[in-house]
Amino acid sequence: MKYQTAFDTSAGNISFENEAFFLKREDGYKLAWSDSLIYPGLSSTDRVRVSTTQAKRGEILDRNGRVLAGAGVASSVGIVPGELEDRDNAIGQIAELLTMEPEEIEKKLSAKWVKDDSFVPVKTLRKVEEIELMSLEPDEEALKEHERQQRLLEIPGVMISDMEVRSYPLKDAGAHLVGYVQNVTAEDLEKHADEGYTASSVIGRSGAEGLFERELKGQNGCRIYIVDSDGNEKEELARRIAENGQDIKLTIDSGLQKALYEQFQSDKSCSVAMNPYTGEVLALVSTPSYDDNDFIMGLSSEKWTALNEDENKPMYNRFRQAWCPGSVFKPIIAAIGLESGAIEPNKDYGNVGLSWQKDASWGSYYVTTLHAYDPVVLENALIYSDNIYFAKAALKIGAEEMKNSLLRLGFREEMPFEVVMAESQYSNTENIETEIQLADSGYGQGQILVNPLHMACIYTAFCNKGNVVKPYFVYCPDAEPEYWIPNAFSENTTSLVLEGSKKVINDPHGTGYAAHREDALLAGKTGTAEIKASKEDTSGTELGWFAIFTAENTVEHPILIVSMVEDVKERGGSGYVVGKEKEVLEGWFGKKE
């Protein structure tokens, strides 16, 4: 709410319109709402003062109560103008140390409110704690920052004081997930005119900070009172108590979030993790990333330009996009084929070698695969990741059945999730247009694009007797799992696909065998998707995928992880991703309550 006041001291009246206040009465303060409250008895020398109490912004917490966004301390570098010696030279030194232009500093010092003894804030810097400097191997960046601040303090007129700021402990590991706040702009104040923002407010710009802005921001308090000509308070007229923002507790496990980030931080990648039995989303990671604390300190134009022009796109949120899935899509095709009757799980499709085409109408186009094996049945096709088997299966399923089955699985619709994700697609048009496109769709190529969280949700059907779990992001200790797509597949279908997916991880011939563990029964699927400008393109890149999950609901820490890495060609394909996720699982299964 915004105060609308009309002052008329010569007439002795003050009018408060359309607001709730605590009004001072003889029997104490009383909450009142009035379209027009008139206060009589002001003298011509009295003045009305309005003071605002800033509401405390709520914290964002992980599932274990660890802070993802909360109050932190930074160093505010300021100048006391009257203490500057050789002003021009001093401002030049300060500007150089703070990577600012001298004109920026002069502009701040020339503000109307500034007096010789004023502390004029110039820039916010990272607070370097003594404990950081005393460690056996102090952080190099901390040492550099400490040295910079010491040099600033050597300049007469410079002061550094502590100030409370928003802080993001996960830094780069959580930036795309948590987001950041910034000071409101004139445009913000106009857009949110009746929502209680002031010129000193902050507003969530991205991630959870933006998503839960309304809950986090709280409501500022306000006090209206009368002072006499000497500034002495005569009477308090109205008060609204500040309401601090709500804390938001997420389902995220910050340890897992950080572990996934550290494994993939040098890649262009994304990872999602969830509990496949409850729908709790445990991690959402995009790499490369950026430090959201930089937005609190104030990004220089050079840093902002560097972030936006970096060819690896650190500001690009990859977990919200849809990607070509490759062979990680095969368990889904297997389930669709079994449901439609197009796949008979024990029927031998016959070994046709490493390349195949339906007939001469395909011209020079062949489907290729990497391994020959016998017998060519569903379970072995999953173990060896046989493109030819699933291309044949897709043709038997048929374009119309494939389209309708994928629509039932949530393709071309927005996911029921707090964070908006890109919609998955089966084609660039309304239909699967050609026989070759249909065949390629069978092994996750063609024009298939899938969001990683959507992929993870469909995989939950193999853990829940055919029911696709609804993902959620806000922690609730007693939440019962909800199904986004009940009975997506039959229990018999999911049992067959699950057994094949177990073999992918636990059979020595399985493409995901490197992630096999003795202490937990895992299932999953690898995938490598070719990204080419045309069918003839031989210089295209590859996306590597790996989906892996606990195959028994009795495990102490159930988990399902789906990761995608760009540019894995010549780097081991999906095997590169398997190795990374294996390391994450080492930490996950070693975790203690």
Give me the active site residues, please.
Answer: 327
In degrees and rounded to multiples of 5, residue 511 shows phi and psi of: -70, -15
**Strand intervals (E) in 191-307:** 202-204, 221-227, 233-240, 248-249, 269-274, 281-287
* Nearest-angstrom CA–CA distance, 339 and 489: 7
> What is the SS3 assignment for 46-97?
CEEEEEEECCCCCCEECCCCCEEEEEEEEEEEEECHHHCCCHHHHHHHHHHH
Return d(Cα 529, Cα 574) in angstroms, integer.
9
Instruction: Using alpha carbons only, give the angle 450, 453, 454 rounded to the nearest 5 degrees.
Output: 50
Terminal CA-CA length for the chain:
44
d(CA 81, CA 115): 7
Contact 217, 55 (CB under 8 A): yes
Query: Residues 6 or more apart from 84 whose CB is under 8 A from it?
Result: 90, 91, 156, 157
Q: Helix, strand, or coil here: 227?
A: strand
Query: What are phi and psi for residue 368, nearest 5 degrees?
Result: -115, 155
For residues 453 and 415, what is the distance between their CA atoms, to the nearest angstrom?
A: 9
CA separation for the pair 90, 151 (Å, rounded): 12
Say which residues have a Cβ less than 8 Å from residue 58's Cβ, sequence separation at least 6: 212, 215, 216, 217, 218, 244, 245, 246, 247, 248
Cα of 363 vs its chain's centroid, Å: 45
As given in the structure block, the two tokens for residue 71 are: 């109050």
d(CA 112, CA 142): 36
Residue 186 CA to residue 183 CA, distance in Å, equals 10
557 CB burial (10 A radius; 0-12, 13-18, 19+):
middle
What single DSSP character describes residue 31? Answer: E
Cα separation, 518 vs 555, in Å, equals 13
> Is the distance from CB of 406 to CB of 458 less than 8 angstroms?
no
| Helix, coil or strand: residue 554 | coil
The H-or-E segment that residue 133 falls in is helix 130-134
Q: Is 521 exposed, middle or buried (0-12, 13-18, 19+ CB in 10 A)?
A: middle
**Residue 187 DSSP class:** H
Max Cα distance, the chain (Å): 101
